[in-house]
Amino acid sequence: MLGPVPPLYEMTADVPFIEPVLIGAFDGWIDASGAATSAAATLAEHGDVVARFDADSLYDYRARRPVLDVVDGTLARLEWPELTMRSVEAAGRHLLVLSGPEPDYRWRQLGSDVVDLCGRVGVVQWVSLGAIPAAVPHTRPVPVLATASKTGLLHEDESQGPQGLLRVPGAALSTLELAVSGTGTPAVGFFAQVPHYVGGPFAVASIALLEHLGRHLGVDLPLGSLVNDAQEQRERLDAAVAADEDATGYLQRLEALAGEDRLPSGDELASEIERFLSETGREGDDEQRGPFEGR
């Protein structure tokens, strides 16, 4: 007879947590330009690891290979993909940041184990951070769509959406949120809309996510180097537009659409996401494109 399945995580510190909120962000899918995981990394930069997950059970190393350092012809070290939960304090409470590469395997067990972990440490709320490609200009404030497991969790002026039905490939992060919210734990999500022509990091989207998260929790959150990064990236994007007449016209059309101040429909977002996946070829290739390639 088979025994119980061992959990996929190990607590490395089981300290008493004060009103902990579990914040999740995975790279790969729903992390356009790495905006969500950059926000999570900034938030957890000085945090302590309180749980580690079994990478050998969760990742396909041929799809997400460990990084090998070779020094003077000698194999020196391997850097393995890692999924951890870190704890930081903010305004007298704990924020638990669960982040790393999106797992390849055992999503349903991972969801069950995260539910167990939430009960073990007393999590009072779940927050998903994500970023999605959209037809928005880099010259305007980053739109952030919000989701909520029930009414009353969001501020009145936050854009809950998209409107209508949105059917897209599922994400591990969404699997965990559904598992946690299914136990009655309140859950919200904040998803920054990243211009689909941006071919690399987009720090202003990370800033927008942290600002929405901080406002939601009623705390001031650190922005680290993101402000300087955002300024440098904006200058590069502006220069790329100025050097290309077609790009200038395209940006003007996006700005006109942004001026209509409306929520995108599910069909519109699904179309952008499908184009994003077909143009990148595989997850992560968006970082290799130029700022206006494939528009």
pLDDT tens, position by position, 145-173: 999 999 999 988 887 877 778 888 899 99
pLDDT by residue (tens digit) across 252-273? Answer: 888 888 866 555 655 665 565 5
Percent of the chain with pLDDT over 70: 87
Average pLDDT of the chain is 89
pLDDT by residue (tens digit) across 221-254? Answer: 999 999 999 999 999 999 999 998 888 898 988 8
Three-state SS for the chain is: CCCCCCCCEEECCCCCCCCCEEEEEEECCCEHHHHHHHHHHHHCCCCEEEEEECHHHHCCCCCCCCEEEEECCEEEEEECCCCEEEEEEECCEEEEEEEEECCCCCHHHHHHHHHHHHHHHCCCEEEEEEEEEECCCCCCCCCEEEEECCCCCCCCCCEECCECCCCCCCCHHHHHHHHHHCCCCCEEEEEEEEECCCCCCCHHHHHHHHHHHHHHHCCCCCCCCHHHHHHHHHHHHHHHHHCCHHHHHHHHHHHHHHCCCCCCEHHHHHHHHHHHHHHHCCCCHHHHCCCCCCC
Query: What structural domains does the chain harbor?
Result: 9-288 (3.40.50.10900)
pLDDT confidence of residue 245: 86
- Span 30-52, mean pLDDT? 97
- Global pTM? 0.88
pLDDT by residue (tens digit) across 96-138? Answer: 999 999 999 999 999 999 999 999 999 999 999 999 999 999 9
